[in-house]
Amino acid sequence: MTARTAFLCLALLGAGLAGCLGAPEQPAGTEEMNETGFNTTNPQGQTLLAFEETNATEEGVGGVDHHHDYWVGRTRVEIFSMEAMMQPMGAADAASYEAQATFRPPDGTFVYESTATVEFTISDPKRHVCEGEFTLEGFFVCTDTLDESGAPEVPAQPDPAGGPAGLKLRYKHASTTSWIDVGEIAWGTPSIITITDPIHTDMPHVTSSAWEFQVLSPHKEDSTLVFTAKAEIVRGMGDVPLWPGHPDFYSDSCCRRVVDTLATACDTSACALVSEETDPVAAEKLVSYGTRTLHVWINITEVFSPNPALQPDVWFLWHWNSTGRENITDVFDKVGHGFETREHYWILPVDDNGMDSPYADGSKWRLQLGGAFYKEGVSCYGGCADWNAKYSIVAIATNEVLDPELYTMRCLRDDYCPQPGDEGGSDLRTMTRDERVA
């Protein structure tokens, strides 16, 4: 599909889109929905969000009721074993804890349906010679000596005490946004998390687990701690649940409005002058099956920068897809997105990993205006420029795949860089190490 076709498709949503915010209230083709007799509910009998938008399902076996058995005869599955690095707590939790390590299962690993328990174990405690507040390409930037590749010449050494006592474990399952306390965790002994409701497991077809784990310490010196964390899932009794066919979001139209709202963003001291919510904007509809491109328009209506010397030089777009990883658009584009520019347009790719589950009860996609400080020889895209701004934002999801050069994002790190189209292979540019630390 050509870029011209994609933009013609967007034009069908309203001539005002060229000015960022003129699309109609509903995408074409969704105003009326035919009566349907097929299953539209999850295994608990609740109507799925997707079927409030469409009454179409994909063709083939995926379009009828079916099971998602990822166990394939296994009774225990390791979903990850990874090295976790403790870091100082943020201000919000500093009163209770001093250090933490937070991590999620890697892409492609999940807490399957029919899981009875999750077993979480920490082992192999080591110490860095400094607090692990900042990392570069996975390594601490501190008094650990770094070689030319960025690897530590003085790596973490085994903790002579065998690991500190008093560490606590907490987690988030797939249907909560709040931490759940497990209690104290011992070295080398699994902590057992019991699944008490089927909705706590990850939904079928998620590409990134919604589960999170966090190990906490009340001691500041544990900011130097490194350890191995392992999580295993254990199958329970009974059958894997039956789910309805996959919804087809693009059966009647190429385009869907998934965000249309007003928002506020800020950075550094100017945040204290804002009374509105400044969290990233959540997509109002699923960015799910069939979606390949997200078009985002932002119109900045008010800007305040208390110190002209610290005002943003470039506006950019923070964005988080269903993996939870953050990425940005070009923070060096003074010509297209300079401080004086108020209307902005960006195009983001949506890959398989970044799609929401078609059975989800809400999107994991988040979008937010950002302001980069970019002076001669000095650049910084977070925690440097001093500003707050109000803006309106519209995002249109489409099933069109554009030419790679039309996408305007920049990947923050090498471990995950979304690619357009099914096969990937685009020329999307990842920020270099020098740019990340400039």
Burial letters 219-237, b for 16+ CB under 10 A, else e: eeebbbbbbebebbbebee
Torsions phi, psi for 19 (to 5 deg) = -95, 15
Residue 189, classified by CB atoms within 10 Å of its CB into exposed (0-12), middle (13-18) or buried (19+), is exposed
pTM of the model: 0.71
Chunked mean pLDDT (size 10), the chain, 438 residues: 42 39 35 52 82 84 78 95 83 68 88 96 89 54 58 76 95 87 97 91 82 93 91 94 86 94 97 94 93 97 95 96 89 95 97 85 93 85 94 97 91 78 40 33
Q: Distance between the two ends of the chain, CA-based, in angstroms?
A: 38
pLDDT at 424 (0 to 100)? 35
Helix (H, G, I), strand (E, B) or coil at 431: coil
Helix (H/G/I), strand (E/B), else coil: 294: strand
Q: Which amino acid is at 8?
A: L
State which amino acid sits at residue 399. Answer: N
- Distance separating alpha carbons of residues 428 and 420, to the nearest angstrom: 9
76-235: which CATH topology?
Jelly Rolls (2.60.120)
Beta bridge partner(s), residue 85 = 226
Q: Are 306 and 266 in contact (CB under 8 A)?
A: no
| Residue-wise DSSP of 124-180 | EEEE-SS----EETTEE-SSSPB-TTS-BSS--EE-TTSS-S--EEEEE-TT-SS-E
**pLDDT of res. 37:** 57
| CA pseudo-torsion sign 259, 264, 267, 271 | negative
Specify the pLDDT at position 95. 59
State whether residue 116 is helix, strand or coil.
Answer: strand
**Cα–Cα dist 372/318, whole Å:** 11
Q: For residue 61, what pLDDT is reported?
A: 67
Residue with tokens 């000095």: 378
275's CB contacts (< 8 A; 6+ apart) are: none
- What's the token pair of residue 159? 């903790």
What residue segments make up the domains of the chain, in order of their start? 3-34+247-437, 76-235
Residue 195: its H or E element:
none
Contact predicate 425/419, CB 8 Å: yes
CA 371-431-315 angle, to 5 degrees, is 15
137 within 8 A of 151, measured Cβ to Cβ:
no
Sign of CA dihedral 390, 396, 402, 404: positive
pLDDT at residue number 166: 94
